[in-house]
Amino acid sequence: MIKPLSDHVVLETVKEEKKKGSIILPETVEKERSEIGKVVAVGQGKLDDNGKRVPIDVKKGDTVFYRKYSEHKIKDGDREYIVIKGEDILAVK
């Protein structure tokens, strides 16, 4: 199992279902979009100046929206995951 460090969060990629009749957005609009992922593991949180952990407000199984381009890819055997920082999570679905 992969254990994220400090304020990192490990995610699985979530593919958005394409709705019938949905409009294909041109590339320039796509760029402003955020990404969606499913939380696999959550770090203990960064250490603050008093030596206490700053909790990250998501838990395993949450579907989260995160800032595009903030991600790192890691690979465990055949499976590929995304690692982001807690602060790059915008919202929980």
Site residues (vs its own copies, CB under 8 A): 2-6, 8, 10, 16, 19, 32-34, 41, 44, 47-52, 54-55, 57-58, 65, 67-68, 71-76, 78, 83, 87, 89-93
Quick one: 27 or 49, whose CB is closer to its own copies? Answer: 49
Give the total residue count for the chain.
Answer: 93
In the block, which residue shows the tokens 């690692």? 83
In the block, tokens 């690979």 appear at 75
* Closest distance to its own copies from the beta carbon of 66 (Å): 9
| Three-state SS at 74 | strand
Minimum distance, C-beta of residue 31 to its own copies, in the bound complex (Å): 10
Distance CA(88)–CA(27), nearest Å, equals 22
